[in-house]
Amino acid sequence: MEPMVRFQDVHKSFGAVEVLKGITLDVPRGDVVVLVGRSGSGKSTALRCINGLETVNGGELHVCGEKLHDGKTDLRKLRQEVGIVFQSYNLFPHLTVEQNVTLAPRKVMKVGAKEAKELAAHVLAQVGLSEKAQSYPEQLSGGQQQRVAIARSLAMKPKLMLFDEVTSALDPELTGEVLRVIERLAKDGMTMVLVTHEMGFARGVADQIVFMHHGKVWERGGAEMLRAPQTAELQQFVATDL
């Protein structure tokens, strides 16, 4: 079976700065792949390329059967299949939680009002926020707002979910709330790619951990990779985390 995502010698530059230096990586369907590494290693850039937020400069990138490297991809269609959640929630403050969640399905997928309401109820239950449907973002904690942002992406019924440091703006208790939601999605078989600095979480949820360094895939493997690093760079990274 074709992987959900396939990077083949992918390069990405911003001006004269090459951020991705020929990465090759597969994300099998149903797997959770966690990207770790220091700031500037290329993790978030790789994630943004998967969603078409950044265009690649070389190599091949296949996502959900689309060839993102040929410049002909229908990005609107792709983004219905690939959800992305950032560290900032980007909720509309003047809309209720339910309205935030149903806006895209109604506008993009032309879902009717009744179906949209049922869809919102389903995805809010998935993230443990059924009772907050009529609340406004300002009435929610940061962890709750981030869970609404996840529900909003789930409402588009994506095949693939991307998470870019979604807990970095949260305190430890709220971080736990959000990570438990992601763990449940993993158990339900959602294909996911995450950028995170939460090493304990990465060990617990990942099918594959990818350590990026200087724009390259430096090491990859299961959770055991973090216990027995093969390179000095990963050894130092893990030691710093501990």
What one-character-per-residue DSSP string does 25-48 give?
EEE-TT-EEEEE--TTSSHHHHHH
Instruction: Count other Cβ atoms within 10 Å, centred on residue 226.
Output: 22
In a domain, 231, yes or no: yes
Q: For residue 26, which of 52, 50, 42 has the smallest C-alpha distance?
A: 50
Tokens of 3: 């992987």
In a domain, 154, yes or no: no
In a domain, 182, yes or no: yes
Query: Which residues, listed in sequence order, are joined to residue 208 by a DSSP beta bridge?
Result: 33
Say which CATH number the domain at 19 has. 3.40.50.300
d(CA 105, CA 152): 9
SS3 155: coil
Give the number of domains in the chain: 1
Angle, vertex CA 193, rays to CA 54 and CA 129, nearest 5: 110
Domain of residue 216: give its range. 5-90+159-241
Tokens of 174: 């709220």
Q: For residue 195, which of 40, 60, 11 has the smallest C-alpha distance?
A: 40
Is residue 182 within 8 Å of 163, Cβ to Cβ?
Answer: yes
In a domain, 222, yes or no: yes
Is residue 31 within 8 Å of 208, Cβ to Cβ?
Answer: yes
In a domain, 213, yes or no: yes
Predicted pLDDT at 242: 55
In a domain, 138, yes or no: no
In a domain, 41, yes or no: yes
Predicted pLDDT at 1: 79
SS3 184: helix
Per-residue pLDDT 10s for the chain (242 aa) are 789 999 999 999 999 999 999 999 999 999 999 999 999 999 999 999 999 999 999 999 999 999 999 888 888 889 889 999 988 888 999 999 999 999 999 998 899 999 999 999 999 999 999 999 999 999 999 999 999 999 999 999 999 999 999 888 788 888 888 898 999 999 999 999 999 988 888 888 899 999 999 999 999 999 889 889 999 999 999 988 65
In a domain, 146, yes or no: no
Strands (E) in the chain, as ranges, are 5-14, 17-27, 32-36, 58-63, 66-67, 82-85, 160-164, 191-195, 208-213, 216-221
